[in-house]
Amino acid sequence: MNTDNEFFNSKMGQYSKMARKSVFQLVFAIALLISFAACKQTHSTSVMSKTFEGDGDNLERVVQELVAPPLLPEHDQLAKGDPKIVEVSLTIQEKKMEIAPGDSIWAMTFNGSIPAPIIVVREGDFVELTLKNPATNTQMHNIDFHAATGQMGGGDISEVQPGQQATFRFRATRAGVFVYHCAPGGMMVPMHVVSGMNGVIMVLPRDGLKDENGNLVTYDKAYYVVEQDFYLPKNADGTYKNIATPQESMQEMEAAIKTLIPTHIVFNGHRTSLVGRRALQAKVGDKVLFITSQANRDTRIHLIGGHADLYWPGGKFNNRPITDLETWAIPGGSAAAALYQFREPGTYVYLNHNLIEAFAFGAVAQIKVEGEWDNSLMKEISKAGPIE
Ligand SMILES: [Cu+2]
């Protein structure tokens, strides 16, 4: 019996060893399958393997009514239905504009504002842009979308002389905030850009923005704040020239921009665009998306008293956002997006943290936040008084 038992036990041992081996092999096979599937999924969503079909001709059309900065056009944060053609119209206006109290430039603008209005679409939508250059203007203009794929970002096929209009369409294949600007060629490119011809398009992921853990995150408000460097020509005594015509502005400004030293660095086209009674507004608890670009020059943005809860690297929403930033860099020719939930009331300052460029040149905005003070985050222990 003992022998049998030993035999049996030993057989059972073998069976159990075999069973363990089989289970191990099964688990190993499943793990392989899962990792293969995950790998396949990663590959299928890689930006390197995206393919596109159709030119969008038969898609549903919607018209986007653009609005003046710092506001965004009406939009849904999550896509409704299939990709659409979003029709957008920009009319170029050449006009004299004040950029600081008493200081003016011959501005060149899309739709009359500096910056140009922000366009909002979703990944996979087509943007159908009509660019109008009224006969009253003096210059040829066009538009280069950093969000577009194709020659000159559309610059070649959108060239319009005064009295002309042109329409082209591109598919928004990448999610994020992207600069667009006029690019008529040669020295006219920087001249038109620093005369105000730049803006941003925001391409939202179809299923919305994601936080650092991959969960949906929405915003209560969004503000569009663009830094612009200006180069005003000066008289021999250092005062700014009063430029009478756009042609004179082009001649005089070339020498001014070649100094590489701006005379003004401001937000939204004017030193006082977003301060005092024009400060941005929010409430404690609001999650505010700040969209900021600089089309020509590097900058670095800081929110005094707050942070970027979420900052999307390079302003591109398919990257996992990084958290808790104090200051975020914007290389010239790009845009940034940062989300912050205000937790305390007060007047916040959103600025270029080269503090000379902020306070001496003008790159400052304010946000007035209403709500109840929270001692769990900051508490005044004793008011300023004589040293004891
Ligand atoms: Cu132009």
Distance separating alpha carbons of residues 122 and 308, to the nearest angstrom: 23
Could you tell me if 209 and 315 are in contact, meaning their C-beta atoms sit under 8 angstroms apart? no
Ligand 1 mean position, distance from CA 107 (Å):
10
Q: Where are the domains of the chain?
A: 61-207, 222-370
Measure CA 304 to chain center: 20
Helix (H) or strand (E) holding 149: none
pLDDT at 242: 81
Q: What is the CATH number of domain 222-370?
A: 2.60.40.420
**Catalytic residue IDs:** 141, 144, 146, 181-182, 192, 197, 302, 326-327, 353
Ligand 1 mean position, distance from CA 346 (Å):
40
Q: Do domains 61-207 and 222-370 have the same CATH topology?
A: yes
CATH 2.60.40.420 fits 61-207, yes or no: yes
Could you tell me if 361 and 261 are in contact, meaning their C-beta atoms sit under 8 angstroms apart? no
Rounded (5°) CA angle 220-222-223: 145
Ligand 1 mean position, distance from CA 110 (Å):
9
Q: Among residues 100, 14, 84, which one has the least CA distance to residue 363?
A: 100
Q: Among residues 163, 172, 194, which one has the least CA distance to residue 181?
A: 194
- 325 beta partners: 308
Ligand 1 mean position, distance from CA 181 (Å):
8
Helix-then-strand count for the chain, H and E: 4, 22
Ligand 1 mean position, distance from CA 304 (Å):
35
Could you tell me if 218 and 207 are in contact, meaning their C-beta atoms sit under 8 angstroms apart? no
Ligand 1 mean position, distance from CA 191 (Å):
8
Provide the residue type at 8 as one letter: F
Ligand 1 mean position, distance from CA 344 (Å):
42
Measure CA 332 to chain center: 12
Ligand 1 mean position, distance from CA 235 (Å):
26
Ligand 1 mean position, distance from CA 91 (Å):
11
pLDDT at 206: 97
Helix, strand, coil percent values for the chain (each to nearest 5): 20, 35, 45
Residues with Cβ < 8 Å from 266, sequence gap 6 or more? 99, 100, 227, 228, 230, 273, 361, 362, 363
User: Which residues keep their CB under 5 angstroms from ion ligand 1?
Assistant: 141, 182, 192, 197
Helix ranges restricted to H, the chain: 2-45, 188-193, 246-258, 355-359
pLDDT at 18: 47
Residues of the chain short of pLDDT 50, as ranges, are 1-4, 7-18, 36-43
Ligand 1 mean position, distance from CA 178 (Å):
18
- 226 beta partners: 293
Could you tell me if 320 and 250 are in contact, meaning their C-beta atoms sit under 8 angstroms apart? no
Could you tell me if 360 and 324 are in contact, meaning their C-beta atoms sit under 8 angstroms apart? no
Ligand 1 mean position, distance from CA 267 (Å):
20
How far separated are the first and last CA of the chain, in Å rounded? 96
Distance separating alpha carbons of residues 257 and 277, to the nearest angstrom: 32
Other C-beta atoms lying within 10 Å of the C-beta of residue 382: 6
Ligand 1 mean position, distance from CA 142 (Å):
6
pLDDT at 23: 53
Residues with Cβ < 8 Å from 28, sequence gap 6 or more? none
Strand stretches in 176-326, DSSP E: 176-181, 198-204, 209-210, 216-217, 221-230, 264-267, 280-283, 287-294, 299-304, 308-311, 322-325
Buried b (16+ CB within 10 A) or exposed e, 43-63: eeeeeeeeeeeeebeebeeee
Torsion of CA 350, 143, 101, 277, to 10 degrees: -40
Ligand 1 mean position, distance from CA 9 (Å):
89
pLDDT at 3: 46
Ligand 1 mean position, distance from CA 76 (Å):
31
Q: Among residues 229, 247, 241, which one has the least CA distance to residue 297?
A: 229
